Amino acid sequence: MKKIYYILITIIFVTTSCELTEVLDNDPPNNLVPENVVKNQTDLEALLNGVYSTIVSRTTSYYYHEFETMPSALVGTMSQSGFGAANDDIRDNTVDFENTVVKNYWNIVYQVVNQANNVIEQANILSEEEISEANRAKVLGEAKFLRAMASFDILRYFGQYWDESSIYGIVLRTSPSNFVTRSKARSTVLESYSQIYSDLEEAIATAPDFSVSYRASKTAAKALKARVLLYNGKYSEAASVADMVITESTRSLEPTFEEAFTKGISSTEMILMTYRDVNSDIDQNNRKRFYSGRAISTGWFKTLITGDPRESFTYSGTAINKVNQTSTFRPTYYLRLAEMYLIKAEGLANSGESLLNSKAALDIIRNRAGTGDSPASTIAALKDDIFEEYVKELAYENGSVWAASIRFDKIMSLKSSVISSNQYILPIPEEEIIGNGEVNLDDQNPGYE
């Protein structure tokens, strides 16, 4: 049967390959390709800006849009991620490898990886006459942060990121790809993490110091490293790096939960977010279009958040208010300082620290919200409180609740449609299996064969 399927795949590829949209063949924005325009530092910086543009583009909005909607539908804090059968399958945790939403997400994130690779390659090619070593290092630091961020997003949605010994990592791409060179095998989870850590270490060393919340920085690289370490199960290290972000005081918590969002790019709490202004906040790009009527008004999330001071600001029961801040042009939140406090608390609670020390960071977030210190008297109870705080504080941000529900072993009790750990990640899209000569049906994630 498998041989017959391979033959069918071959026939499909031969007859339809001209119709497939191959993101790795696409030029970066404004046709900024190495052959014609990257001649100096200005050109290189324009190429780098193109990576950011792809992430927030209104015509290729899958990255920033699915970044919030897809995991929210998977965990059940949203009633749907969009319209149509493909989105219904995400909501119902019945995704297959032909799902168009999954394909679009895979493609756009790998497009970001590929564009970052173009920046890295060109930064290393430009002569000292065209760019100073200091500026070269900064560009490389930003580009490697963006590559790490995108690579980690692929790993956490398509790879068995919780098991370092797993063979089901990602297709690691560290150089520009095209139709001729794109065939590449999946790496292991350990190899995937190793590359992500390598990029983040360089970003921590050479990316610019923090200046604005919509560009990569040393602070953002540290914050992302803390998150990666947490997902990797390296709890003590995650807590330590999160504490570094907190204590370096580059960012600080806003006095209230609401102010973290209503102040927009002026918020002292935001580490990395999208930038929009009055010119970019248009119909095709705004949050009203994506979130009207999609909030959950019943179920486990409603039960948990009811009565919390953050409830009304988070959602109205029908609309998601948190990300629909018209005064700040409806940004997407990638990294926020509050998450570092929760990572620190979770990391300490899972690495043998005392109840008192583990509670301290959590209580800072709880008291800022107005709910008081955690009443937990055991580490087990504290872990439950930490999970609930992820839900209440970080709902609709960055897939945080979906990931926490898996780490804390809660998802199967919260959502009856999740019955296997195979559903913790998504299938490698059909298009990748067809177009990548080094990936075949045997390489598909378990449960999706």
For the cut 80, the answer to whether the pLDDT of residue 376 exceeds it is yes
For the cut 80, the answer to whether the pLDDT of residue 438 exceeds it is yes
Q: Of 98-102, 224-228, 295-299, which range is least confident? A: 295-299
pLDDT confidence of residue 283: 67
- pLDDT (tens digit, 9 = 90+) per residue, 222-273? 999 999 999 999 999 999 999 999 999 999 999 999 999 999 999 999 999 9
267 part of a folded domain = yes
pLDDT confidence of residue 172: 97
> 114 and 177 in one domain?
yes
135 part of a folded domain = yes
> 252 and 168 in one domain?
no
pLDDT confidence of residue 18: 36
Say if CB 351 and CB 239 are below 8 A apart. yes
CA distances (Å), 40 to each of 141, 206, 249, 254, 352, in order? 18, 20, 35, 40, 52
For the cut 70, the answer to whether the pLDDT of residue 290 exceeds it is no
Domain enclosing residue 235, as ranges: 213-408
416 part of a folded domain = no
Residues 6+ apart with CB under 8 A from 359: 345, 373, 374, 376, 382
The CATH number that applies at residue 169 is: 1.25.40.390
For the cut 60, the answer to whether the pLDDT of residue 287 exceeds it is no
CA distances (Å), 295 to each of 47, 322, 381, 409, 417, in order? 37, 11, 28, 24, 18
223 part of a folded domain = yes
Render 104-152 in DSSP notation, one character per residue: HHHHHHHHHHHHHHHHHHHHHHS-TTTS-HHHHHHHHHHHHHHHHHHHH
229 part of a folded domain = yes
> 267 and 166 in one domain?
no
Please name the residue ranges forming H helices in 130-253: 133-158, 189-206, 218-231, 235-247
> 217 and 182 in one domain?
no
Closest C-alpha among 70, 229, 72 to residue 148: 229
> For residue 20, what pLDDT band results from cuts at 50, 70 and 90?
very low
> 55 and 12 in one domain?
yes
Count of domains for the chain = 2
> 197 and 237 in one domain?
no
Residue 51 tokens, joined: 């990576």
> 350 and 281 in one domain?
yes
Say if CB 295 and CB 320 are below 8 A apart. yes
Q: Of 92-96, 199-203, 331-335, which range is least confident? A: 331-335
Q: What is the pTM assigned to this prediction? A: 0.90
> 183 and 218 in one domain?
no
> 169 and 134 in one domain?
yes
**C-alpha span between 270 and 206 (Å, rounded):** 21
12 part of a folded domain = yes
Residue 331 tokens, joined: 């940004």
**C-alpha span between 387 and 411 (Å, rounded):** 11
pLDDT confidence of residue 179: 75
For the cut 60, the answer to whether the pLDDT of residue 14 exceeds it is no
- pLDDT (tens digit, 9 = 90+) per residue, 148-173? 999 999 999 999 999 999 999 999 99
449 part of a folded domain = no
Q: Residue type at 314?
A: T
> 201 and 147 in one domain?
yes
> For residue 358, what pLDDT band results from cuts at 50, 70 and 90?
very high
418 part of a folded domain = no
> 326 and 257 in one domain?
yes
Task: Tell me which of 403 and 21 has the higher pLDDT.
Answer: 403
> 167 and 95 in one domain?
yes
